[in-house]
Amino acid sequence: MQAFSNAGSGDIVLAIAHRIVENRGYLSDIDGLIGDGDHGVNMAKGFSLAAERLRGRTRPLAVSLATVGDVLMTEIGGAMGPLYGTMFSGFADALDGVEEIDAAAFERMLRHGLEEVQSIGNAKVGDKTLIDALAPALQAFAATAAMRDDFAAALDALIVAAEKGRDGTIDLVAKIGRAARLGERSRGVLDPGATSCAIILRSLAEGAKAKLDALEPRKSREAQR
């Protein structure tokens, strides 16, 4: 079975936090074009606080995701605190009690996170928000996992779709959130939330792939016995 353990995988979330903090300036610059220029600041603040809480020992992936959810929900401002807080808490809830994370569990995680964000934010695909990265990423993951019995290939498809979705926001007019006030003038630039979401999803998928890779040598040794 292609799966990695929930228990030893919380460090994936620390890597996500580092990627967001690294992109602080970039994300705020993008938000400066159609928003108020605070997206990178908001995100970096939340994720560095979360990283402080997570540093030191490895926790289960579900626990680390829940910590990020709590911190974002309570500590960061803007639209993103509650939205990403809800997404991470949704991811965490779906993995609660799961020992081995296989493609089916990973898909449930993505789906639950998406449903939760949409339940509070009401954004649809095409509204020029983070949903435009998350929804196609889930769809590509699920389609690839259904077509081929290959968790890593599904993770690759997720990354490609998230980034394609992010790039697609350039041509969209914002229908929701602060940028919606600009109407047609919001067209022509990336959506900051879709951009941060693509960073999060790439980092999450790469972390999961590294966990699967780390298991491979053991599996092939077992096969040789």
200 touches ligand ADP by CB under 6 A: no
User: Which pairs with CB-CB distance under 8 Å and at least 24 residues apart come from 24-27?
Assistant: 26/195, 27/192, 27/195, 27/196
Which residue has the CB atom at the shortest distance from ligand ADP? 193
Instruction: Identify the H or E element spanning 128.
Output: none
Chosen from ligand ADP, Mg ion, none, partner binding at 198 (C-beta under 5 to 8 Å by type): none
177 touches ligand ADP by CB under 6 A: yes
194 touches ligand ADP by CB under 6 A: yes
Interface with ligand ADP by CB under 6 A: which range of 12-20, 77-85, 88-96, 144-152? 77-85
Provide the 8-state DSSP code for 35: S
Answer yes or no: are the C-beta atoms of 101 and 127 closer than 8 Å: no
- Using CA atoms, how far residue 118 sits from 105, 130, 199, in Å, is 20, 10, 19
- Using CA atoms, how far residue 43 sits from 66, 72, 117, in Å, is 16, 8, 16
35 touches Mg ion by CB under 5 A: yes
Interface with ligand ADP by CB under 6 A: which range of 12-20, 104-112, 114-122, 149-157? 114-122
- Using CA atoms, how far residue 8 sits from 68, 101, 154, 183, 200, in Å, is 17, 11, 21, 46, 19
- For residues 55 and 76, give the distance between their C-alpha atoms in angstroms, rounded to a whole number: 19
Of 157 and 174, the one with the shorter C-beta distance to ligand ADP is: 174
Interface with Mg ion by CB under 5 A: which range of 33-41, 91-99, 116-124, 152-160? 33-41
Of 138 and 194, the one with the shorter C-beta distance to ligand ADP is: 194
Sign (positive or negative) of CA dihedral 200, 167, 134, 140: negative
Of 194 and 204, the one with the shorter C-beta distance to ligand ADP is: 194
Choose which of 10, 14, 16, 31 interacts with ligand ADP (CB under 6 A). Answer: 31
191 touches Mg ion by CB under 5 A: no
Which parts of this chain interact with ligand ADP (CB under 6 A)?
31, 35-36, 38-39, 42, 78-80, 83, 117, 121-123, 129-131, 176-178, 191-194
